[in-house]
Structure 1
Amino acid sequence: MKKLKIIFFASAFVLSVVSCDNIDSLNENQKAYTNALASNLMTSSQVNYAYFLTNASVNDNNFRGYAQYWTTSTYTDEVNYNQAKRNLGNSHTVILYRDVLQDLIIAKNKINEEQALGPVEIAVKKNRLAILEVQIVMVYQTLVDLFGNIVYSQALDIASFPTPKYDDAKTVYLDLATRLDIAIVNLDSNYDSFGSADLIFKGNVTKWKKLANSVKVKMGMHLADVDPAKAQSMVETAFNSGVMSGNSDAALFQYYKTTIDENPLYNSLVNESQILPTEFFVNELNAKSDPRRDIFFNPASKISGEYKGAPYAQQVSYKNFSNVGLKLRDRTNPGVIFDYTETSFLLADAANRGFNVGGTAADYYEKGIRSSMNYWGISGIDADTYLARTDVAFATAAGTDKQKIAYQLWIAYYNRGFEGWTEYRRLDFPILVAPVTAVSEAEGKVPVRNIYSLFDSTLNKDNYNAAASAIGGDKMTTKIFWDKF
Structure 2
Amino acid sequence: MKKISLILGLFALLGWMSSCDKGFDQLNVNPTAATALNPVFTFNNAISNTSFPASTLIFEEAIVQQMFSPNSGITQGGNFNVDNRGSAGANAPLWQRYYRDNLRYLVDGIAKTKNDAARTNLYNMMRILKAYVAMVLTDTYGDVPYSEAGLGYLSANVMPKYDTQESIYNDVIKELTEATAALDATKPTEAGEIMFGGDIAKWKKTGYSIMLRAGMRLSKVNPTLAQATVQKAVAGGLMQSNADNFVVRENANYQNPIGTTLNSTEAANYYLTGAFVTYLKTTSDPRLMSIAVRYVGAKSGPEQTAAKANRDPAVQIGMPLGYDNGTILARATADGLASFYDYSQLDRTRMGYFTAPCFLVTYAQTQLLLAEAAQRTWTTGNATDFYNAGVTAHMKQLGDYDATSLVSDANIATYLQKNPYAAANGLELINNQYWIASFLNGPEVFANFRRSGFPTLTPNPYPGKEIKGNFINRLSYPDSEQSVNAVKRQEAVARQGPDNLDTHVWWDKQ
TM-score normalized by the length of structure 2: 0.81
Equivalent positions of 1:294-305 (< 5 A) are: 294-298=289-293, 300-301=309-310
Which residue of 2 is the match for residue 173 of structure 1? 169
Partner of 1:238: 233
Distance 1:306 1:480, change over 3 A: same
1:385 has 2:414 as partner:
yes
Aligned partner of 1:149 in structure 2 is 143
CA distance in 1, matches of 2:369, 2:346: 27
Ranges in structure 2 where 5+ consecutive residues have no aligned partner: 1-24, 295-308, 329-338, 399-405
- Matches of 1:191 and 1:113, distance apart in 2: 15
The sequence identity of aligned pairs, in percent, is: 27
Give secondary structure in 2 for the equivalent of 1:84: coil
Residue 361 (1) aligns with residue 413 (2): no
Q: 1:321 aligns with which of 343, 348, 355?
A: 343
Structure 1 residue 103 displacement after superposition: 0.4
Describe the shift of the 1:182–1:113 C-alpha distance in structure 2 as closer, same or farther (beyond 3 A). closer
Secondary structure of the 2:505 match is: coil
Aligned-residue RMSD, C-alpha? 2.4
* C-alpha distance in 2 between matches for 1:312 and 1:347: 33
Residue 113 (structure 2) pairs with residue 111 (structure 1): yes
**Alpha-carbon displacement from aligned partner over 1:92-149 (angstroms, at most 9, x marks no partner):** 22211121011011112222354x4xxxx3xxx2211110110111111111101111
Amino acid at match of 1:195: A
Provide the C-alpha distance between the structure 2 equivalents of 1:100 and 1:180, rounded to a whole number of angstroms: 18
Distance 1:431 1:25, change over 3 A: farther
Quick one: structure 1 residues 476 and 28, their matched pair in 2 at CA, closer, same or farther if it must change by over 3 Å? farther
- Residue 306 of structure 1 corresponds to which residue in structure 2? 315
Partner of 2:466: helix, strand, or coil?
helix
Q: Does 1:394 align with 2:421?
A: yes
Aligned counterparts of 1:252 and 1:388: Cα–Cα separation in 2: 30
Question: 1:413, 1:419 within 8 Å by CA — same for their partners in 2?
Answer: yes
Trace 1:401-440 onto structure 2 (pairs within 5 A): 401-437=426-462, 440=465
Counterpart check, 1:164 vs 2:160: yes
2:273 paired with 1:278: yes
Three-state SS of the structure 2 residue aligned to 1:327 is coil
Tell me the alpha carbon deviations over residues 313-367 of structure 1, each in whole angstroms, 9 at most, x when there is no partner.
Answer: 53244422122123213343211121101101111111111112x3122221111
Q: Distance in 1 between matches of 2:189 and 2:58?
A: 32
| Runs of 5+ consecutive residues of structure 1 not aligned to the other structure | 1-23
Q: 1:67 to 1:28 in 2, by over 3 A?
A: farther
1:56 to 54, 57, 65: 54
Q: Once the 2 structures are TM-superposed, how far is the Cα of residue 462 of structure 1 from its aligned partner? A: 2.5
1:42 Cα deviation after fit: 0.4
Of the structure 1 ranges 296-305 and 66-75, higher mean CA displacement relative to structure 2 is found in: 296-305
Residue range with higher mean Cα deviation, 460-469 or 263-272: 263-272
Aligned-partner Cα distance in 2 for 1:324–1:354: 37
Return the letter of the residue paired with 2:359.
V
2:395 pairs with 1:373: yes
How much has 1:67 moved relative to structure 2?
1.5
For 1:408, give the aligned amino acid.
Q
Q: Which residue is equivalent to 1:40? A: 41
Give the Cα–Cα distance (whole angstroms) in 2 for the partners of residues 438 and 375 of structure 1: 38
SS across alignment from 1:105? helix
Q: Tell me, yes or no, if the aligned pair for 1:68 and 1:281 is still in contact at 8 Å.
A: yes
| Pair 1:255 & 2:250 matched | yes
Secondary structure at the aligned position of 1:298 is classed as strand
Could you report, residue by residue, the CA deviation over 1:12-61 in whole angstroms, capped at 9, with x for unpaired residues?
xxxxxxxxxxxx999864433244320110011011112x2xx4347x86
Name which of 172, 175, 188 aligns with 2:184: 188
Equivalence for 2:335: none
Q: Normalising by structure 1, report the TM-score.
A: 0.85
User: Aligned pair 1:127/2:121, yes or no?
Assistant: yes
Task: Look up the match of 2:336.
Answer: none
1:45 counterpart letter in structure 2:
A
Asked whether 1:352 is paired with 2:375, we answer yes
User: How far does residue 450 in structure 1 lie from its aligned partner after superposition?
Assistant: 0.8
**Contact 2:108–2:150 (CA under 8 A) maintained in structure 1:** no
